[in-house]
Amino acid sequence: MGSVTVVGKGEVTSKGEQTRTRIVDAAMTLLEERGYDGTTMRAVADAAGVSLGNAYYYFASKEHLVQGFYDRLQELHAAAAAERLPGVEGLGARFMTSELAFLDAAGRYHRFAGKMFAVAADPSSPLNPLSEASTPAREASTRIMRDVVGGSTVRADPRVLQELPELLWLAHLGVVLFWVYDASPEQRRTRLLVTKASPVLERLVGLTRWRALRPTVDELLDLLAELGGRSSGR
């Protein structure tokens, strides 16, 4: 039997995954056409060819479609990054390539992304990026960063390399937040940020090899481990 994933009020079995996918596809299309405020659960259900009750089974409310939207963005990002990363070796170049791939894949949804992310930004919301409900999407995004690091030629402190995928995921969240608020044409300011910051990021990571910096690096990593409820790994 397939695995079971809890989404909203319902449980999605491997059999029901096709229905869930149709609902998400319909929602993404309507969101692009009508925006967040113009998209209703009834319209999504009609477009997906399911009953309204069935739509609510998979997503407890329109707000819960944010999770489906977030999941789909990770899929689009992963596919776009996988096409572009082969042959790119430097950490900065790989991170830049991955982030630009995200911006290209997500660009069509920028006009309503602010409202979608506003729903997830509430710390009390189960849909926020750090919540348990967001674990699958968070892990999918971190896997992209793990590929960014794993395929690179970067040399750094071993502990930093171990934590780097999650650190890059946090950097990615920062890029996403900047992108959401970027009103420049085609979000050029976000692209400039990614292009200029990526080489700096690579140099900073490389500096962690310096013996004189190791105590400071260890303190920072210990703090991150403590904040994340993990052992320091030392």
What domains lie within the chain, and their CATH numbers?
Answer: 1-61 (1.10.10.60), 63-227 (1.10.357.10)
pLDDT > 80? residue 231? no
C-alpha to C-alpha distance for 7 and 112, rounded to whole angstroms: 22
The rounded distance, in Å, linking the Cα atoms of 228 and 95 is 23
191 dihedral zone (left: phi>0; alpha: psi -120 to 50; beta): alpha
Q: Residue 195's pLDDT is what?
A: 98
**Mean pLDDT over the full length of the chain:** 86
Q: Are 90 and 154 in contact (CB under 8 A)?
A: yes
- Best CA proximity match to 49, nearest among 13, 18, 22: 22
What average pLDDT score do residues 42-48 get? 94
State yes or no: pLDDT of 9 exceeds 50.
no
Q: What is the pTM of this model?
A: 0.82
Lowest mean pLDDT among 10-14, 116-120, 209-213: 10-14
d(CA 78, CA 145): 10
Q: Which is more confident, 31 or 126?
A: 31
Q: State the CB neighbour count (10 A cutoff) for residue 217.
A: 17
Whether the per-residue pLDDT at 67 is higher than 60: the answer is: yes
**Averaged over 139-153, what is the pLDDT?**
95
198: left (phi over 0), alpha (psi -120 to 50) or beta: alpha
Strand partners, 12: 5
178 in Cβ contact with 110 (< 8 Å): no
CB of 134 closer than 8 Å to CB of 67: yes
> What's the CA angle centered on 139, arms 137 and 143, to 5 degrees?
115
Q: pLDDT band at residue 10, thresholds of 50, 70 and 90?
A: very low
